[in-house]
Every structure is written in C-alpha cells, then in structure tokens.
Amino acid sequence: LNTPGVIHKDLLIIGGFGGPGAVRALDVRTGERKWIFHLIPRPGEVGHDTWPPEAYKTASGVMPWPGQALDEKRGIVFVATKTAEPDFYGGTRHGMNLFANCIVALDANTGKRIWHFQTVHHDLLDKDLPCPPVLLTVTHEGKKIDAVAQGTKHGILFVFDRVTGEPLWPIEERPVPASTLRGEQAWPTQPFPLKPAPLMRQNYTEEDISITSPEARAATLDRIRVSPNFGPFPAPSLQETIMFPGFDGGMEWGGGAADPEGIYYVNVNEMPWIVQMVETRRADDSPLPRGEKEYMTYCAACHGLDRKGNPAGGFPSLIDLEKRKTRIEVETLTQKGAGRMPPFDQIPAAQRDAIHDYILSVAAPAGGGGRPDEQRAAPAAPDKSPPYAFAGFKRYLDREGYPAIKPPWGTLNAVDLNTGEIKWKVPLGEYKELTARGLPPTGTENYGGPVVTAGGVIFIAATADETIRAFDKDTGAVLWQAPLPFGGNATPSTYTVGGRQFVVISAGGGKSGRPAGGSIVAFALPEK
C-alpha cells in the first residue's frame, strides 16, 4: 500500500501500489474481499471503451495511490487515481483512459460507481492526482452544499457537489497541443475550471526567468529561447521542453485542509521541469538490445538514461549496483518494490531478468532477454515495447541550483470555496542566503500538507528550509516557527492531553536535495 485505507462499518477500503489499479473492500474480521472496483475497466464495465479492447489484460498504473476520503453518513468513498502507464507515451493505450487521473465516488457498501470526473484525459505528463480529496461544506448561491475539493499538480482546484458530482463552477475543455511522436494520439482538449483561479502561474515566459543573479538570468534567458513551451500541457517530444507547472505540482502529496467556514488551505510548488523523450529503436527501426531497451522503458524515467539516478530527488544511482546488491536482492526489489519504487511484478520474468542483466553489468545475448543460459535455447520474443521512453525527471535549475524561475517557488494559499475567490497567498519557506542578498522570502519546494485548528491556526512544515511554521488562518501572517532536525515532508497532527495542545510532525527529510533522517518532533503550548 502507498496510502492507508478508510474504515466504513466493518469494511477496510484500500487501493494498492503496482499492477492494474483497483479499489477493494475487505471484511475487517475475516479479510474476505466484499467488493472490487476495477480502475482499468473490464468488458461490459463503464469506461472499457476508453481503452483499446484488450488493454485491461496488460495495462498498468491507475492505482488509487493518493488516498481516499469517506463521507461516513452517506456511505460514499471518494478515490483519487494515478495516471496510466507508461506515463509519458500513450501509443499503446489510445483513448481517454478512464479511470486514470480521476476522482471517483463509490458506494462504500457495494463498490458501485456513483459518479466520476477525469482531470486529465489520456495523460502524457504524469499529471496524476497527487493528494486525497477534501470534504467540506460551503454556501453556494445561497444554499448549503456538502462539497468535495480535489487539488492537482497544475495548481488547479476542482470542486464538486459530493452527492451529484456536479461542479460548483463551470469547467471548460480547452485545446492543447497535438503530439509529434509516431503512434501517439494526444487528447485534443483538457478540462479547466473557471473558478477558483489557478493557485500558480500556468505558463513559463521570458517575464518569469530567474532573478537570483545577473548570470543566472542570462543563462536562463538563453535556454528558454531555444526550448519550445506550450503552457501546462506540452506534448512530450524528442526535444527538451520546459514544462511548467512541473511534475511535482502545483499541489503535492500533503494536499489541503478545510475549516467549517468553507475555506480551503493548501501549499503549492512553482518549479519548472524538463520533459524529453528518447527513441528505444535504432535508425533502421530495429530494437535496442534487450535489457537496455527494457531499462529505458521501465527504469530510465527515475534512474536516468545514464543510470546515475537523481539522489536529491529520491532516485538512487544504479552505477556499480553489483558491488552493493546481490542479484537475488535486486530481483526481490524489482518484483516487490521498495521505498518510492512500485513493484514491477506485472512485467514478464524474462523482461525483468533482462533489466537485471543490464543494471548489474551482465552482457545479455543479442536478440533476447533473461539470463544468458536460458536465452541460448529460447527464441527472441516479439518486440512489443513502446518506441519511446522518458529521458528522466529533471528540475530546471539555474546555475546556482535554485529554480530557474522568478519567485515565489512555494506558497501557502487560502481559497474561499463559498465564493471561489483566493483569500490570500504567502511565500512558504525561505533561503536565508538569498534573503541576505536583499531578495524577499522566495518560498521553497514543499512536500507535506497543512492542518488547521479550531483556534484559527494553520500548522505546516513541508519546506526545504527544515522549519515548521504556524500561520494566522485569516491573514496568512506567520505566528511562530521552529527548526526541525530534518525536513518535515509530512502533514502535522494535533491533539490535546489534559487540556494541553500538542503538534507533532514526522521529520524524515530527503526531498529537495536535503539530508534524510528519521525523527518525530512534538511541540506543545506551555503548561499553565
């Protein structure tokens, strides 16, 4: 599991991480499965016609990894879902691909679909929903409405009547660029709500280039002039393209919090990234050697084309892996997953073996996969792999290592969902060395969410400066802050003991190039 499930009566409702997506309800006493909802629909199920007919047999992804929210009174569970895989090439999965990138409302007792909404059609940019839905009550056009709000990596907020699925404000489909990759059929439009306004910039232009130093500005300007930029939905191509909003939001895994007045509080990233595809075949259309080809298809997005990974982003290097891990250990990792890596048990064993040969520097025989002794007797399998692979996750940074975009780089926002208006926005996080140069607080990349209290205070850590802060929920003013031993890349919890309020945060760090650790830090009001 990537996120915990929810309990409804005697049912544990859970998702899963890896393989074709599904939502399951298990009897908490016996473990018996009571119902299942297929997120890659089977024949006869709603959404099956949004995929190739046989896709349900081989497609993967579409897991409900961000988590769920439960309306216990009505018995409705709201599920947010991941993109379909491969994440960046959809030539093998033509169609809208329901229920990828969706918020899905299910009857918690039976698993029957009540309604759904897809926030990205035929996703090609890993723009899956990053956080669980948030339930709240608002006054809309003079009526009290129980609503559900869903944040996205585009920094866009979709708000629906949680019973009917009707949006509180109109959503329009806008044209987006077509793909130039052979075999790809990018969806021609994408949905944009008219309210609330996006919580971040939706394009990267010359007006947004780095201001940390004249040298950084000049280098950034040179690069943007040679990079195509098509706003929030650039179609992946063989050319390096600046993508903004980036892969990590917008909103991220912490999601938002809401108060009884219908105000939604959420932190947002404003970091540009680079998107690029590479061919997995030679100029004569013959495939790359098995192992290298499979690595590029399944592994290079995280570990890089050069296998050096991105340790600052949580993706370890695979160079000299054979000196650190045995083959058995590597086989176990790829089959079962570990840390951020999902299990790859849906990949045939011969293909996994070819990957193992490649990353462990074992020469695989030409034309085949699997262990060398097996492949000498086995004919080459038909090549069904995608013709393109993603070149890897790369932040767009200036020469000093800061985001190559004008601040703010991270913000905390309050949105009045009674009116759809943004109430306030403030920078979240600080680079003290830049403040010393005379720049106002820039905000930082942030991973973790807020909690709002009845006392009118928002607690949030999340930032790269390894600090937890308290904000006034009405104004966004900082009320208090304290250092943490490592980054608080989680959502704080608050509770009372003997009338004394505590706030506790898991400080594990490891994001934004910061050190990793393992601390739980608690704060409390002074004893009376």
For residue 301, the model assigns a pLDDT of 78
Q: How far is CA 93 from CA 90, 193, 292, 376, 392, in A?
A: 5, 26, 23, 33, 21
For residues 107-117, give the mean pLDDT.
Answer: 99
Per-residue pLDDT of 242-288, as tens digits, reads 999 999 989 999 999 999 999 999 999 999 999 999 888 776 777 77
Q: Are 26 and 33 in contact (CB under 8 A)?
A: yes
pLDDT of residue 230: 64
pTM: 0.86
pLDDT above 50: residue 506: yes
Please check the confidence at residue 526 and state whether its pLDDT lies above 80.
yes
The per-residue pLDDT for range 300-323, each reduced to its tens digit, is: 878 888 888 877 667 889 999 988
Q: Which residues of 427-436 are buried (b: 16+ CB within 10 A; e: fewer)?
A: bbbbbeebee
Helix (H, G, I), strand (E, B) or coil at 157: strand
Residue 291 and residue 358 in contact, taking contact as beta carbons nearer than 8 Å: yes
Q: pLDDT tier at 25 (50, 70, 90 boundaries)? A: very high
pLDDT score for 292: 82
Q: Is the pLDDT of residue 225 over 80?
A: no
The Cα-based distances of 320 to 14, 225, 308 in angstroms read 37, 38, 10
Q: How much is the average pLDDT of 17-34? A: 90
Question: Are β-strands 11-14 and 68-71 bridged in parallel, bridged antiparallel, or unpaired?
Answer: unpaired
Supply the mean pLDDT for the chain: 91
Q: What gap in Å lies between CA 139 and CA 135, rounded to an integer?
A: 14
- Domains with residue ranges and CATH for the chain: 281-385 (1.10.760.10), 450-528 (2.40.10)
Max CA separation in the chain (angstroms): 78
Model confidence at 119: pLDDT above 70: yes
What are residue 504's DSSP bridge partners? 493, 522
Residue located via tokens 């119902």? 35
Give the mean model confidence (pLDDT) for residues 3-15.
Answer: 95
Check residue 19 and give its pLDDT: 67
pLDDT of residue 4: 87
Smallest CA-to-CA distance from 273 within 307, 305, 308, 310 is with 310
pLDDT-derived band at 369 (thresholds 50, 70, 90) equals very low
- The mean pLDDT value for 163-184 works out to 97
Convert the pLDDT of each residue in 227-244 to its tens digit. Answer: 776 689 999 999 989 999
Identity of the residue numbered 442:
T
Q: What is the mean pLDDT of residues 336-357?
A: 81
Provide the percentage of residues in the chain whose pLDDT is more than 70.
94
For residue 325, give the DSSP letter: -
- Are the C-beta atoms of residues 269 and 247 closer than 8 Å to each other? no
Name the β-bridge partners of 175.
189
In the three-class reduction of DSSP (H, G, I as helix; E, B as strand; rest coil), residue 274 is classed as strand
pLDDT of residue 195: 98
> How far apart, in whole angstroms, are the C-alpha atoms of residue 304 and residue 343?
18
- Identify the pLDDT of residue 382: 55
Structure token pair of residue 426: 């403030």
As a whole number of Å, the end-to-end CA separation of the chain is: 42
pLDDT above 50: residue 215? yes
The single residue listed with the structure tokens 């004249």 is 214
What is the C-alpha separation between 127 and 276, in angstroms, rounded?
15
Contacts for 44-48 with beta carbons within 8 Å, 24 or more apart? 46/98, 46/113, 47/98, 47/99
DSSP codes, 351-389: HHHHHHHHHTTPPPPTT--S-HHHHTTSPPPP--S-SEE
Strand positions, DSSP E, 74-129: 76-80, 84-85, 102-107, 113-118
Residue 457, Cβ neighbours under 10 Å: how many?
Answer: 17
Burial classification of residue 522, based on how many CB atoms lie within 10 Å of its CB (0-12 exposed, 13-18 middle, 19 or more buried): exposed
Angstrom distance (rounded) from CA 399 to CA 208: 16
pLDDT confidence tier of residue 368, bands split at 50, 70 and 90: very low
- Long-range CB contacts (within 8 A, 24+) of 430-436: 430/463, 430/465, 430/467, 431/402, 431/464, 431/465, 432/465, 434/212, 434/402
Q: How many CA atoms lie within 13 A of 135 on its CB side?
A: 15
Higher confidence at residue 513 or residue 324? 324
Which DSSP letter does residue 403 get?
Answer: B
**Residue with the larger pLDDT of the pair 130 and 282:** 130
What the block records as the tokens of 226 is 């040679």
pLDDT at 45: 98
pLDDT of residue 377 exceeding 80, the answer is: no
